Structure 1
Amino acid sequence: MKDIKNITKWLNNEMSEEELADFQTTNDYKLYKDIVEEGSKIKLTSINEEDALKDFKARIKFKTKKKSKVISLKNNLIFKVAASFVLLFAISYFLLNNNQTTLKTNFAENKSFTLPDESIVDLNAVSTIVYEKSFLKNRTLKLQGEAYFKVKKGSSFTVKTSQGSVQVLGTKFNVKNREKAFNVFCYEGRVDVKHGTDKIILTKGEGVKLVNNNKLIKIDNTNLSEPLWLNNEIYFNEEIYAEVLDEFERQFDVKINTKNINTNVLFTGGFKKNNLETALKSITLPFNIKYQLKSNEIVLSK
């Protein structure tokens, strides 16, 4: 590579016809033409950093094997650029993952965690919380699943979910953010719940849930001091049966298959986690549903 100026002009489409004709006879043009063609094959509509990095490495490796000519890494700009991209990906991945903390639970697992501000969070089965390294300055986290929070008083504390957000100062509350359900219940203090343009303020003993028309509505009060699931009891208040079955799978680590079952009906009731078959009867008998146990698989039918 002898003429970086001409390479730059060619890449920026700034060459005259005469200059382009001369440049196309050089080895630099042949090499960079191949690189540009390979780069154009990479789709950028939806980028996954790890996939893009693997694809980039594979293409460079293929090019290296195909060329019999040995190219100096020290003197060749394209390999410097390639090395820069690889380094950039590595640094970005490292910074991103080291700037976040993830707390999670598996199937049939509940865990309690202490956050950096000394707030306590209990995670229900198959749930995830992610917060930034700067959490103490900006008490904000993301939740997927279900969690019970005992927030230490201080600055605003925000729980963001895919369906809405919850903001408090210092209180005890439960947030359930599942694919088929979103509800919040306040056990102490005050909770601000937002979903789109809707906003509802909850005080002790009040709850809210998202209904089919995509609106937040208040749900019945209760005198409970904490969620039942902390004591291995799962309760539903007019939730669709599909969510009941999903929750059963999460709590017992089983797979449920349905045959001719209407999973859009509403269910009120619950089950305890101490016995699978007893719990199964609790959610099937109200609808006269039959069940078959096959190892870790359950088949429901009418």
Structure 2
Amino acid sequence: MTVKKNINNEEMWPGKLPDLDLSYRKSKEDVWRELSHAIDSKQTISPEINLFARMWRPIAASVIILLGMTLFGRFYTKEITSDVGQHITAVLPDGSKMILNAGSGVSYHPFWWRFDRKVELQGEAFFEVKKGKRFDVVSRNGITTVLGTSFNIYARNDHYQVTCYTGKVRVISLVNGHALNIIPGEQASLNSDGSFRLAKLKDSEEPVSWMNNMFVFTGTPLHLVFEEIERQYAVKIGFDPGIEYLYTGNFTRNQPVEQVLQMVCRPYGLDFEKTPKGYLIEKK
């Protein structure tokens, strides 16, 4: 026999939830008081440490600024470049003067000059150095060191040649460390093995004739002559590398470039042709 149990609606769905006490017994003043107490109870920084921190910050900032200025002065580099067909005269921070031949460039640190008088050179330049601390000119293959003098440096590719005009010049090979002192009227040229050969000049004005727009060559490989013409006239010259003649002669930059090419080419039975890209040298 099945017994049925009657469950009324009130048992399944009570008319109300149990009574809950949702009231908050603390006032906001009590909450704030307890929060303030908790903050005050935390460990505080001693006045001595706080004072040290305040003093250290400006000192550290000053050190950083000073270090930054020192590094800027040490490594800031000024560059001067003489384009093809151009000669430039420039004055260094101590009043020393340099004249750059065409297609040459120098760089130095102007803000560090009082501590280290050093110039890096690529190309050819004449220097008149004021007396003072050591003065160095660094090139690819050598270093020229003086105190106060005048000299000319030719440093292009593997060619390195220094001519002294006043004072005394010391040259140091960066190939093998060979060093040599030269005096006015002497010229040091770098050999292929890194050593220097010394020569006494019959005409000391010849190496610096370029400053007067005159170019003198004595037994100079022809490709070097063509390269000089390119620099002085801002033109391109194409030629067969197999042309290995030695040229002796001179020309001035006041002459037209085609006249100069004719003077240089004629003794060797060479001819030249003007093209859209420059001049082409070829055998007749």
Please report the TM-score for the alignment, with normalisation by the length of structure 1: 0.63
Long gaps (5+) in structure 2: 1-67
Long gaps (5+) in structure 1: 1-90
Secondary structure, in 3 states, of the residue corresponding to 2:84?
Answer: coil
Match of 1:222 in 2: 202
The answer on 1:203 being equivalent to 2:183 is yes
Pick from 262, 269, 274: which aligns with 1:288?
A: 269
Q: Report if aligned partners of 1:180, 1:243 keep a CA contact under 8 Å in 2.
A: no
Pick from 175, 182, 191: which aligns with 2:169?
A: 191
List aligned pairs for 1:63-212, cutoff 5 A. Answer: 95=72, 99-132=76-109, 133-195=111-173, 196-212=176-192
- Greater Cα shift, 95-104 or 280-289: 95-104
The answer on 1:271 being equivalent to 2:219 is no
Question: What's the Cα RMSD here?
Answer: 2.3
Deviation at 1:285, TM superposition (A): 2.4
List aligned pairs for 1:240-279, cutoff 5 A. Answer: 240-259=221-240, 262-275=242-255, 276-279=257-260
Deviation at 1:270, TM superposition (A): 2.8
User: Structure 1, residues 165-219: CA drift from partner, whole Å, max 9, x if none?
Assistant: 1001111100011115221111111111111322121111111212334432123
Deviation at 1:293, TM superposition (A): 2.4
Task: Supply the distance in 2 between the matched residues of 1:141 and 1:152 (Cα, whole angstroms).
Answer: 14
- Residues 287 and 216 of structure 1, relative CA distance in 2, 3 Å threshold: farther
- Residues 180 and 256 of structure 1, relative CA distance in 2, 3 Å threshold: farther
Task: Supply the distance in 2 between the matched residues of 1:157 and 1:249 (Cα, whole angstroms).
Answer: 31
Deviation at 1:158, TM superposition (A): 0.6
List aligned pairs for 1:7-22, cutoff 5 A. Answer: none
Please report the TM-score for the alignment, with normalisation by the length of structure 2: 0.67
Q: Report if aligned partners of 2:265, 2:271 keep a CA contact under 8 Å in 1.
A: yes
Q: Report if aligned partners of 1:253, 1:296 keep a CA contact under 8 Å in 2.
A: no
- Residues 212 and 245 of structure 1, relative CA distance in 2, 3 Å threshold: farther
1:201 maps to a residue whose letter is N
Q: Report if aligned partners of 2:98, 2:128 keep a CA contact under 8 Å in 1.
A: yes
Task: Supply the distance in 1 between the matched residues of 2:217 and 2:190 (Cα, whole angstroms).
Answer: 14
Deviation at 1:246, TM superposition (A): 1.3
Percent same amino acid among aligned pairs? 29
Task: Supply the distance in 1 between the matched residues of 2:171 and 2:198 (Cα, whole angstroms).
Answer: 11
Length, aligned pairs only: 209
Deviation at 1:295, TM superposition (A): 5.4
